[in-house]
Structure 1
Amino acid sequence: MPSVPLSETVASLIPRARAELAELVAYASVADERVFPRSECEKAAAWVADALRQEGFQDVALLDTPDGTQSVYGLLPGPAGAPTVLLYAHYDVQPPLDEAAWLSPPFELTERDGRWYGRGAADCKGGLLMHLTALRALREHGGAPVTVKVIVEGSEEQGTGGLERYAEAHPDLLTADAIVIGDAGNFRVGMPTVTSSLRGMVLMEVRVATLEGNLHSGQFGGAAPDALGALIQMLASLRDATGATTIDGIDASGEWSGLAYPEDDFRRDAKVLDGVELVGGGTLSDRLWARPSVTVLGIDAPPVVGATPSVQATAGALVSLRVPPGFDAGRTAEALSAHLKAAAPWGARVETTQRGSGQPFRADTGSPAYSAMADAMREAYGEELAIAGQGGSIPLCNTLATLYPEAEILLIGLSEPEAQIHAVNESVSPEELERLSLAEALFLTHYAASKSA
């Protein structure tokens, strides 16, 4: 075993992590063939499989999941009688959105102002490199003291449930004593944080039809029912005057009792324009982590450029609804569908189609694994561990909690606010990658010791 501290070993591995992250970011692994070719995801999955084999993982496999994507699995045996820890990340990414708004190419890792920019750099290809760096550091210090399973998903961003369905059909595959989900983030850079709750998600497509075809707005406007106008009224009914979500049958009065999110910090993190008010009521933490939140993700309507003077016969939208722990995604979807149909004016014909969903999640923060992580974070950061919620969804969490009720689930990761995940110019902090890789290595060591005590 080397005489250098574990922290120095981790630091020495960061240049390799950067080079490999650049390779992985170069794959435009958006799990939507309408946007990017499937071959990009397949190349990314093959890269992950090769990386696991190079680290000595056994039983490395590309798992064909029911939604048509691939997840990557590997097993690294530990000492006899050691606990098993499952490490999770995903290699699929969000589309780059407006590529012209990126200051550097989205699929080319670029260093700028002390951060590494590229789609997936933080969410969640960087999470995979965090896992690999922690394991490599431990290997130079005698090896991982636990049995390690790694699962890297290929469709997390799409919410299509491929890995959840695969895990349910193969319940022995991902069994573990503790599960580290590397797809969350610190409350801010340098503040070690675990995420204790996730909001669930429903994706609902709504279609409105009022006419057999478009009509001249001068000849028929004023009496002909406008499908786009109907859709706008329906979408407006999802919020009250303050902007708070108001959907019939869905309680929006939850309160958060943990970490507070100061409004000034939120305005800065979210880059809210001067003079623009925040929406909703209650504390920021209530709104983000304890209450439902509706967002209109897209609208099918004629663009401004090239629009004609027409009454629209049809229109559509994709609506996202996030719900906190305590809600059921299935019943929430039914309530959203019923609300939209009831809100349709003029007898407009409405069809709703659920496009994705994920159940909310709440962790047990009093478990031994959380104590081990608190010790590890304290050593890596020199700060006490904070516990926060997260407004996003990781559908697999609830599936794992259901399949393995005795497993301890922790959520950490690189998606702190400055990372701007899902937006243009996504980036990762190399300092966070280094400290979290060290924290994960220390966690595996402390957790193994706690289970053998």
Structure 2
Amino acid sequence: MRQRVAGLMPAVRADLEALTRIPSVSLDAFDQANVETSAEATAQLLRAEGLEVEIVREGGRPAVIGHRAGPEGAPTVMLYAHHDVQPPGDDADWDSPPFEPTERDGRLYGRGAADDKAGVMAHVAALRAHGDDLPVGVTVFVEGEEEIGSDSLPTILERHGEKLRADAIVLADSQNWDVGTPALTTTLRGMIRVVVTVTTLDHGVHSGMFGGAVPDAITALVRLLATMHDDAGDVAVAGLGAGEASDLDYPEERLRAESGLLDGVEVIGSGSLLSRLWTRPAITTIGLDTPTVERSSNTLVPSARAKISMRIAPDQDDLAAYELLREHLLAHAPWGARVEVELEEKGLGFAADAQGPVYDQARAAFADAWGREPVDVGVGGSIPFVAAFAERFPEAAILVTGVEDPDTRAHGANESLHLGEFERVCVAEALLLARIGALPR
């Protein structure tokens, strides 16, 4: 199988590069014709492998569903990926054009080259590796709006769920532990995103005439945001759940290198680093609406807003976590300032019971492809659709895998795919289909 996949890789890479050249950014501000083009290109790739394919739209971006039957009585495996991508950001931050895939030092650079068009092509490569002798039934589901919250996913699952039902689900949108060490993602944090507005005045007034007695909204907002952490940097919102992560070796030096933390800047929080990253709550201010430095004047600003992203423990209820955050913000309003909290997005986490024959075969396939045993990891980021699949298909074994590694920089400038790891991912998925097909029926 390794030799077979190696022979397929030049064509697989060419198809990946063609997909990557399509700027399929699903955010409203970008041309959605490109997302349509990406969906059709994905559909054509699946049709070429003998799948019956349809493009579905349930109020959102186009998703692609394809199916190919396996031998009589064989289990069905559903393969998930997404074809939409994040905005590229400022082209000046990239060392090569974001939508022109470019190889440097064994890595393929480009927006979506890893997240998640390589996931799409890993599925295609596994199908090509088996050719006419597919050992299982396969359903491929490639979403078109994962990067903007998967708003239409519940409707897709409601209206097309029976087409997606499977004995095992492979969700290719995560990462491996490092280059050379495969991983199964067994926990994901949930997420809450809110916008908090602080108001102290009904209009702006002269800072010289009224400053010292009248609070401005920006200072009040800053003080409010500061209450969400204690002096050590731990989240100070009472009542949030927390867990402990896998006991893997993750020294602070690796965290600093992978995150780009500047010399002299301290690591925040307490407990093991991986628990802080994977299973404990985290709160980040990700945006501010205030006058810019260039446009500011000597005025007490009457109102200011911040966007807050909160990651929650894998087993924490998302709405309960939102209420705890909201109560904290309202209770800590400085100087009687008016505080409003708007829920913008929520999502449940995921904790897998990663045992049973499908997980055994997945670990064996990874060991075969990499030549070393995989590790179980958590991911601090949130993939709410995983919880949606777990709820819709409670009997299916859900495998969260991926093509990324710590140097991928998904969502950032210079996103890249390690080509050697990508080939091993393709080998592992082809072997996984074979191993699941060989399980007792």
> TM-score normalised by the shorter chain: which range applies?
over 0.9
Secondary structure of the structure 1 residue equivalent to 2:427: helix
Q: Which stretch has the larger CA shift, 290-299 or 259-268?
A: 259-268
Q: Which stretch has the larger CA shift, 438-447 or 237-246?
A: 237-246
Residue 214 (structure 1) shift:
2.3
1:232 paired with 2:225, answer no
Query: What is the alpha-carbon distance in structure 2 between the residues aligned to residue 407 and residue 76 of structure 1?
Result: 18
Alignment size in residue pairs: 441
Which residue in 2 is equivalent to 1:167? 157
Are the equivalent residues in 2 in contact too, given 1:160–1:357 (CA < 8 A)?
no
Which residue in 2 is equivalent to 1:52? 46
Query: What is the alpha-carbon distance in structure 2 between the residues aligned to residue 118 and residue 264 of structure 1?
Result: 27
Please list, as runs of the form range in 1=range in 2, the aligned pairs for 1:63-78 lying within 5 A after superposition. 63-66=56-59, 68-78=60-70
Please list, as runs of the form range in 1=range in 2, the aligned pairs for 1:18-33 lying within 5 A after superposition. 18-33=13-28
TM-score scaled by length of structure 2: 0.96
Q: Which amino acid aligns with 2:358?
A: A
Q: Which amino acid aligns with 1:117?
A: Y
Which residue in 1 is equivalent to 2:135? 145
Residue 305 (structure 1) shift:
2.3
Q: Which stretch has the larger CA shift, 151-160 or 71-80?
A: 151-160
Q: Deviations over 1:36-88 (max 9, x none)?
A: 12222222122212221222111x2222134x222211111111111000001
Which residue in 2 is equivalent to 1:220? 210
Q: Which amino acid aligns with 1:361?
A: F
Q: Deviations over 1:208-256 (max 9, x none)?
A: 222223222222222332111121112111111122222132134x322
Counterpart among 31, 37, 46 of residue 31 in structure 2: 37
Q: Deviations over 1:348-368 (max 9, x none)?
A: 222222221211101121121
Residue 434 (structure 1) shift:
0.3
Query: What is the alpha-carbon distance in structure 2 between the residues aligned to residue 326 and residue 118 of structure 1?
Result: 34
RMSD of aligned residue pairs (Cα, Å): 1.6
Residue 169 (structure 1) shift:
4.2
Q: Which amino acid aligns with 1:237?
A: T
Query: What is the alpha-carbon distance in structure 1 between the residues aligned to residue 147 and residue 306 of structure 2?
Result: 19
Shift in CA distance, 9/323, structure 1 to aligned 2, threshold 3 Å: same
Are the equivalent residues in 2 in contact too, given 1:161–1:395 (CA < 8 A)?
no
1:417 paired with 2:406, answer yes
Residue 99 (structure 1) shift:
2.6
Residue 160 (structure 1) shift:
4.5
Query: What is the alpha-carbon distance in structure 1 between the residues aligned to residue 56 and residue 323 of structure 2?
Result: 32
Which residue in 2 is equivalent to 1:3? none
Q: Deviations over 1:5-50 (max 9, x none)?
A: x21221122222222222222222222213x122222221222122
Which residue in 1 is equivalent to 2:8? 13
Which residue in 2 is equivalent to 1:87? 79
Query: What is the alpha-carbon distance in structure 1 between the residues aligned to residue 353 and residue 163 of structure 2?
Result: 23
1:188 paired with 2:183, answer no
Query: What is the alpha-carbon distance in structure 2 between the residues aligned to residue 80 and residue 258 of structure 1?
Result: 42
Which residue in 1 is equivalent to 2:434? 445
Secondary structure of the structure 1 residue equivalent to 2:66: strand
Structure 1 stretches of 4+ moved >4 Å: none
Are the equivalent residues in 2 in contact too, given 1:106–1:117 (CA < 8 A)?
yes
Which residue in 2 is equivalent to 1:62? 55
Query: What is the alpha-carbon distance in structure 2 between the residues aligned to residue 341 and residue 31 of structure 1?
Result: 34
Query: What is the alpha-carbon distance in structure 2 between the residues aligned to residue 143 and residue 305 of structure 1?
Result: 64
Q: Which amino acid aligns with 2:332?
A: A
Please list, as runs of the form range in 1=range in 2, the aligned pairs for 1:350-389 lying within 5 A after superposition. 350-389=339-378
1:246 paired with 2:241, answer no
Secondary structure of the structure 1 residue equivalent to 2:163: coil
1:97 paired with 2:89, answer yes
Query: What is the alpha-carbon distance in structure 2 between the residues aligned to residue 229 and residue 21 of structure 1?
Result: 49
Identity %: 45
TM-score scaled by length of structure 1: 0.93
Residue 280 (structure 1) shift:
0.6
Are the equivalent residues in 1 in contact too, given 2:5–2:427 (CA < 8 A)?
yes
Shift in CA distance, 112/230, structure 1 to aligned 2, threshold 3 Å: same
Shift in CA distance, 443/308, structure 1 to aligned 2, threshold 3 Å: same
Residue 301 (structure 1) shift:
1.5
Q: Which amino acid aligns with 1:39?
A: A
Counterpart among 301, 311, 322 of residue 312 in structure 1: 301
Q: Which amino acid aligns with 1:62?
A: I
Are the equivalent residues in 1 in contact too, given 2:241–2:312 (CA < 8 A)?
no
Are the equivalent residues in 2 in contact too, given 1:259–1:387 (CA < 8 A)?
no
Query: What is the alpha-carbon distance in structure 2 between the residues aligned to residue 160 and residue 212 of structure 1?
Result: 38
Residue 379 (structure 1) shift:
1.1
Shift in CA distance, 292/29, structure 1 to aligned 2, threshold 3 Å: same
Which residue in 2 is equivalent to 1:108? 100
Are the equivalent residues in 2 in contact too, given 1:258–1:388 (CA < 8 A)?
no
Query: What is the alpha-carbon distance in structure 2 between the residues aligned to residue 410 and residue 53 of structure 1?
Result: 25
Q: Which stretch has the larger CA shift, 241-250 or 370-379?
A: 241-250
Q: Which stretch has the larger CA shift, 393-402 or 173-182?
A: 393-402
Query: What is the alpha-carbon distance in structure 2 between the residues aligned to residue 337 and residue 233 of structure 1?
Result: 16
Are the equivalent residues in 1 in contact too, given 2:150–2:385 (CA < 8 A)?
no
Residue 346 (structure 1) shift:
2.4
Are the equivalent residues in 2 in contact too, given 1:82–1:146 (CA < 8 A)?
yes
Structure 1: segments with no counterpart, 5+ residues: 1-5
Shift in CA distance, 379/227, structure 1 to aligned 2, threshold 3 Å: same
Structure 2: segments with no counterpart, 5+ residues: none
Which residue in 2 is equivalent to 1:321? 310
Secondary structure of the structure 2 residue equivalent to 1:204: strand
Q: Which amino acid aligns with 1:138?
A: H
Query: What is the alpha-carbon distance in structure 1 between the residues aligned to residue 247 and residue 147 of structure 2?
Result: 27
Residue 439 (structure 1) shift:
0.3
Are the equivalent residues in 2 in contact too, given 1:115–1:430 (CA < 8 A)?
yes
Q: Which amino acid aligns with 1:216?
A: H
Residue 384 (structure 1) shift:
0.8
Q: Which amino acid aligns with 1:196?
A: T
